[in-house]
């Protein structure tokens, strides 16, 4: 009996030792994928943007129909188009994180997941001048595991999925996209769309009208699916820094590609192949919404100013003032006895 008791005590001691040296389990982010709790409420969400031309047109549509949505934005796109991020925020939409490069996070280790989440977080926060930090995250492809949820939880994120997939990326037909959503959405539905596809944008007006005709309320936030939180209060942001455009400034193409044209305006023909995203140009003249530029391969033409991020020119470092000139050297005092010898010589000359 004594031997059994000894083994039990030894085993308990080993267990306590292991527990004492094991770090506490990381808190996982909560996951939301739609709620049926409140009848008649649905919410629109858009992934992968911002797109330089389609997201602004979508914002126009949502504003016209008085609808607020959540935009799950990729960090690299937000970094390229910060003005669109700002506009969406100021118009009352929720800005959310969709990773930096739309990588499937479950294929990465913890450090890679952390990098994808936080680089996008920094891009979105920077675009909003630090006035807002996102706290909703949607993993690319909806792919998540315990490690992903732990990283999200460590940074205070909510993991947001969906329960109504429009399959807009696959259908590419506005009528079929709209019909699928209206057929499948239910109370508390989170509707998944993408603001990078043309047909997705074009499906939104009929979708909004159909949802409302079916008695569904398009609530302004994900939280409003399950509580009575209303629309966000009016928002403001610090003024974005404007970098002056002068002859000799340099800029970078912030779109995936950009035509360089023979004159200002889309009616002018392109000159050769489009400039790829990230291309550097020298700005020659600013003409309203158009810039005359010179490309690295020597072409000169016009591009739309909104697709060029002007680079800040480093302020010249002021030269340090030269040290003050040394004061004129004071006359040296005569050596000992010199004054007496001078007086004696003068007296002798007068004699």
Active site residues: 47, 194
Query: For residues 116 and 103, is the Cβ–Cβ distance under 8 A?
Result: yes
Packing angle, helices 174-184 and 198-213, rounded to 10 = 40
- What CA–CA distance (Å, rounded) separates 84 from 87? 5
Tokens for 290, please give them. Answer: 């158009």
- Kindly provide the residue ranges of all beta strands, DSSP E only, lying in the chain, ordered along the sequence: 31-32, 41-47, 70-73, 94-97, 136-137, 158-160, 164-165, 189-194, 217-218, 250-253, 257-258, 275-276, 280-287, 290-295, 300-304, 308-310
By CB atoms closer than 10 A (0-12, 13-18, 19+), residue 234 is exposed
- What CA–CA distance (Å, rounded) separates 264 from 220? 40
């Amino acid at each position: 009996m004594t031997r059994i008791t000894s083994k039990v005590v030894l085993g308990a001691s080993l267990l306590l030792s292991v527990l004492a040296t094991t770090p506490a389990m990381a808190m996982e982010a909560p996951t939301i994928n739609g709620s049926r709790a409140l009848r008649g409420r649905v919410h629109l969400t858009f992934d992968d943007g911002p797109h330089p031309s389609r997201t602004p047109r979508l914002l126009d549509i949502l504003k016209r129909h008085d609808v607020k949505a959540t935009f799950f934005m990729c960090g690299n796109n937000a970094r390229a188009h910060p003005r669109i991020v700002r506009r969406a925020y100021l118009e009352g939409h929720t800005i959310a994180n969709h990773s930096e490069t739309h990588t499937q996070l479950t294929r990465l280790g913890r450090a890679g997941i952390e990098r994808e989440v936080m680089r996008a977080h920094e891009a979105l926060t920077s675009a909003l001048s630090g006035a807002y930090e996102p706290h909703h995250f949607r993993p690319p492809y909806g792919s998540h595991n315990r490690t992903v949820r732990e990283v999200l939880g460590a940074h205070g994120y909510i993991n947001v999925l969906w329960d109504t997939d429009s399959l807009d990326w696959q259908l590419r037909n506005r009528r079929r996209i709209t019909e699928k959503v209206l057929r499948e959405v239910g109370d508390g539905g989170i509707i998944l769309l993408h603001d990078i596809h043309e047909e997705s944008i074009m499906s939104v007006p009929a979708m909004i009208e159909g949802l409302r005709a079916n008695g569904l309320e398009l609530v302004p936030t994900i939280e409003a699916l399950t509580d009575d939180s209303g629309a966000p209060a009016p928002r403001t942001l610090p003024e974005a820094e404007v970098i002056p455009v002068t002859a000799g400034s340099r800029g970078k193409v912030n779109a995936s590609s950009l035509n360089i044209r023979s004159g200002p305006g889309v009616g002018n023909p392109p000159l050769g192949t489009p400039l790829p995203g990230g291309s550097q140009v020298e700005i020659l003249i600013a003409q309203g919404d158009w810039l005359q530029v010179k490309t690295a391969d020597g072409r000169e033409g016009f591009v739309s100013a909104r697709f060029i991020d002007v680079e800040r020119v480093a302020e010249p470092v002021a030269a340090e003032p030269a040290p003050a000139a040394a004061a004129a050297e004071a006359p040296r005092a005569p050596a000992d006895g010199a004054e007496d010898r001078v007086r004696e010589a003068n007296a002798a000359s007068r004699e």
